[in-house]
Amino acid sequence: MNGCQITSELQIVLQMKRCSLILSLLFFTVFSFAQNPLQDLLIKNKQAFGDILDRPAHYETQIIYTQIDRDSVNVPSFTSFEYGVNTDQYFYPASTVKFPTALVALEKLNQLKVIGLDENTPMRTDAGSPPQTKAFTDATSENVLPSIAHYIKKIFLVSDNDAYNRLYEFVGQEQLNKSLRDKGFTDTRLIHRLSEPGYDSLSNQYTNPVTFYTGNKILYHQGEVQSKAPPSLKLENEIKGKGYENNVGKIIAEPFDFRNKNYCSLRDLHALLQTTLFPESVPINQRFDLTESDYQILYQYMSQHPREGQYPYFDQPDGYVKFFLFGGNEEKIPDHIRIFNKVGDAYGYLTDVAYVIDLKNNIEFMIAATIHVNDNRIYNDGVYEYETKGFPFFKKIGQLVYEYELGREREYPANLNRFRNIDYK
């Protein structure tokens, strides 16, 4: 056998190995798509999302979809699928931070163990150090008095910023973050009030004096609290863009610094949702110290439509804070569909974490996503592609997953009575 033959045969063998490797990779890719229905849905419907899937770094898209299956005694199990999820990739969570803050506020109230003190007890917030502000009354409340329950109602029905700030002030920055970290939510830092430009990093460590009372009797009082230095996280891309608008309307041609801004990873938000809706499905040390009354308040307000609210009646469409399926503007959501969720929108970031149930078809699933639609990369200028790109993305992906769930076979139908009998009055 001469050298030419050896070389030729060697080339044939190498070529066969290359073909085998290519076929193996191709099989693996197809197999992976088949095992990830989320990715499969995105690929099959790619044209419906414009250029969002073609430019993942530009839009910073992250999605988590969780299938829920019940056994013969209705115990749920969870199977999650992800697209683009990266806990180290910074995004601005906006109003979604109100969700964990509400949970910790209810937990703190319970752990005080004060007789007669509950989520409906009148609450008075004083001002300590400047620029703190007072809150003695609330015109939207039935008795014109603030309370933990009423603040939580406003947080979920219309995403009220002041309501979040008052809960942040009651809990305190240090305790808020410690409670979350102790439960394993370590990709989170909640370090500032919302829509309060007068506060800097230091003043956000100081939280107001708070008093709970009934009539002329004080049930509990805490003075002004100074938290220790806030938790630090090493995250990617916290300095973003090419400019921002300052508080007096001037465009500053420098990247915007998010290092002193809130953060809550999509995985943490998703896990918080499961912990809240299915506390028995997570380890005890991940659960919040909540009562059955607390859970009922959360379930009601997380899924209630603005028009169903009383004191006040919120004149907003059903889909006002429901991004998935309804794009944030649906006038009337069908009665058999309920979405337990919390959304956030700011700086061009849109985020929603939701548990969706269909009481007519007995289906349920969880879905969370975030997307960045700020094409000019100028922050705080109010010029974002929410209506043209962001909301349509959430509406479409929600509809695709919902339709997939309608056709997905289940061994046992879900018994959703726990969420069917919520009193929305």
Domain extents for the chain? 44-420
Whether the Cβ atoms of residue 81 and residue 36 lie closer than 8 Å to each other: yes
pLDDT at 250: 96
pLDDT at 73: 97
pLDDT at 90: 98
What averages of pLDDT result for each successive group of 10 residues across the chain (425 residues)?
41 42 34 72 96 95 98 97 97 98 98 97 97 97 97 96 98 97 97 96 97 98 93 91 95 97 98 98 97 97 91 88 95 96 98 98 97 98 97 98 97 94 85
pLDDT at 18: 42
pLDDT at 424: 86
> 44-420 is classed in which CATH architecture?
3-Layer(aba) Sandwich (3.40)
Determine if the pTM surpasses 0.75: yes
Residue type, 297: I
Tokens at 60, concatenated: 């910073």
Contacts by residues 130-139 (CB-CB < 8 Å, ≥ 24 positions apart): 130/203, 131/196, 131/198, 131/199, 131/203, 132/169, 132/203, 132/206, 132/208, 132/224, 134/208, 135/162, 135/166
The whole-angstrom separation of Cα 179 and Cα 181 is 6
- Identify which of 303, 295, 298 has the alpha carbon closest to the alpha carbon of residue 333: 303
* CA dist list (Å): 156 to 130, 309, 318: 29, 11, 12
State the sign of the Cα–Cα–Cα–Cα dihedral 112, 114, 119, 125.
negative
